[in-house]
Structure 1
Amino acid sequence: MTDVSAIEFGIDSFGDRPRDDRGEIVSHAQAIRAAVAEAVLADQVGIDVIALGEHHRPEYAISSPETVLAGIATATQRIRLASGVTVLSSDDPVRVFQRFATVDALSGGRAEVILGRGSFTESFPLFGYDLKDYDVLFEEKIDLFHRLLDETPVTWEGTTRAALRDADVYPKTESGRLATWVGVGGTPESVLRTARYGFGLMLAVIGGAPGRFAGERRTGVCCHRGNGDFMRPSLDRVMPEAWKAAEAFSSAIRSAVLQRGLSVQETEFIKLRASQINACAFCVELHSREARRAGIAQQKLDLLPAWRAAGLFDDRQRAVLAVAEAATVLPTTEESDADLAGARSVLGEEAFVAAEWVAVTIKRTSCVRIHPGDGPAACGTGLASCSSGVRNCWQSSPMRRWGRSASPATTVNSI
């Protein structure tokens, strides 16, 4: 039975411009003031959250949600203040963090940012972005935003904005971390991206039946293998000392393999190929990204399942891929034993052993069920990346049932 005390109620608004008593559409200024009044009333009657969406269209008044939220912050006491959503793709992650950290200060820690790509695209040409870069803009900017949340100096480089070198960003939040969600329209890829960064997941049921999102919930919670059984115990919660040891083990392997002559690219080849064989959608998505970041060409990633027949891979790459397959598909056969012997002769003793450790480690840590956490334990660089990813797929935040305000200070329709 659902514990209703864990359900949060909220409203959201785009600052719609309703008609007044004379049937005339109100001005943008009037609509913004009405949105503030709506938030004040919501605070008084016990609504938990108000979220303001960003649009750059004549029918909606709010183009800068955090500015309106700052006004609401000084006139309310308890209601949490969120965007719904902040279109991160056409904004600057540093400025988004600074603006919401400011709202957090004004509200006494009540600010929450919901990042998204937006259901409209008018902000892209308005701010000088090309829609052909739609995917890379969000990928890079959410990665930078994730790093900014640690509130420590950031070094980052991408293709969509200037690089940062030990950049410290102000103001800091009093809590040390800004509450962050990602608004998702329903694609499994977006759910997995959210899980990878450990953000809260907000499903945007703009239209249609909410039941269509059940698959995304399962995708997030159980990676590819789950069966919806949420009663299985969390291994790290029951035996935290074992999980800490596992994390230390992965960290030690990660450091040792590089010292034994295995390159970062070769390590990523092993992790991605093993993930493909394990048919783990989360792992494949994660390690494909990490492989690209390590400089592996997309053509090689596309042909990785057929690496034996492709002429793109050098001897060392073919050797580590043979190790990945032999360690993942058990028991070994005469053919795989021959592959291992050949790989050993190519890599040398130490690099060969390092490759086996990478393959064995990712296989043994794949899709371990652990307790929801606040951030990746080893995602992106560690060898226990899949298990830490599953950890972050389901946030322990209370459930939210939000309604959308048809116009400021009018009725709220439950989703």
Structure 2
Amino acid sequence: MTINLVLTLFAGTTLVLSLFSRLLQRVSLPGPLLALAAGALIGPYALDLIRVEDLGVPAGTLLEQASRVTLAVGLAGVAMRLPHGYWRSSTRWLGLIIGVGMVTMLAVATGVLWALLGVPFLVALLLGAIITPTDPVVTTPVVTGSLAEERVPERVRHDLSAESGINDGLGYLFVLLPVLLLTRPDTAWHDLVTTVLLREVLGAALLGAVAGYLLGRLFALAEHKGLMEESSYLGFLLPLALFVLGAAKLAGTDAVLAVFVAAAVFGQVIPQRDEAQEDKVEDAVNRFFLLPVFVLLGLALPVGRWLELGWVMPPALLAAVLLRRLVTLWLLRPLLRPVHDRSETAFLSWFGPVGVSALFYATLAERLTGHGEIFAWTTLAVTLSVLVHGVSTAPASAWLQRRQAAHHPTRAR
């Protein structure tokens, strides 16, 4: 009974949102926002058709594993979106937004939370680290689909995709710092360098690079020899993402980062493809994985615990989510002038949503530290971000299109 109800509700929601995806994007109601609302509607605080407890798996475990798989598929799609030669041509943007930007966003988010919430510094640092990465899954409606292609310049879409993929994987390093300081303060820095950085993060990058290169060469060889019946790279990409996700976890590394690196290298090794056709199929597959996790999150929203947090918590969390991005991008503006003009910088400084990656790191942090309030705070931050960034997607992209037309009428998109 439960499995059939789950299939009906989750797949039915995905069907409806997919049927009207273009219309919903144009009225600024993207899929993640409506899927989250659908989950809340069928959950215990509204129709009470199904509860997370009915699924037979502890809520924390279910959300952590569901978000992990969703991230793997989403990150593989993000990496494959980037054209050949992108990494060489975008070193300035990536160096600044990752090397300097992540540290600055962490500092801003932590400072806002510490000042407004009055929580211990390490707790503010942990929550700040969880919401620092730009989510690659929630940014999908901003960088893909007909609306994005019409209104947002290609370079902006590629830069936002690449940033969200890399910083989401590196977010593990940022989250583990406060986790270790809270759980093993005496050996925290030693463990951070020797275990987290050298083995888990750099090991993941190496494993992902080797796997992506070897699988890319294997794909190219099989395609050249006519050994594959299906020419679409998606028939290879999804198993690649899940294979690397599992293998990297078994190897004790940061599996999320390994998947992104593997897909990025794979995308640069395989021959150029019919990107327009492949991207349409890829978007459909990503939507199939993306929407159910937001329905699941909607079911698990701890609304009762939110009501106990007081009125300060929502504006404080929203301020941390928005200001971390706005402050960082405009501080880096003098160095980014050769890369993006003022209107593009404004657009990029606004769209730094948090979503599935924050959910994954929150469940991970709660499991490792035992701080149950982290989950409640993070889900509230995710809900606010999905709402604010979701409803602003269409008007912000339309504004950017007008600005680009006014200032760069002949610039190629």
Task: Please report the TM-score for the alignment, with normalisation by the length of structure 1.
Answer: 0.23
- Which has the larger Rg? 1
Q: Which has the higher contact order (CA 8 A, sep 6+)?
A: 2
User: Which structure features the higher share of strand residues?
Assistant: 1
User: Which structure features the higher share of helix residues?
Assistant: 2
Task: Please report the TM-score for the alignment, with normalisation by the length of structure 2.
Answer: 0.23
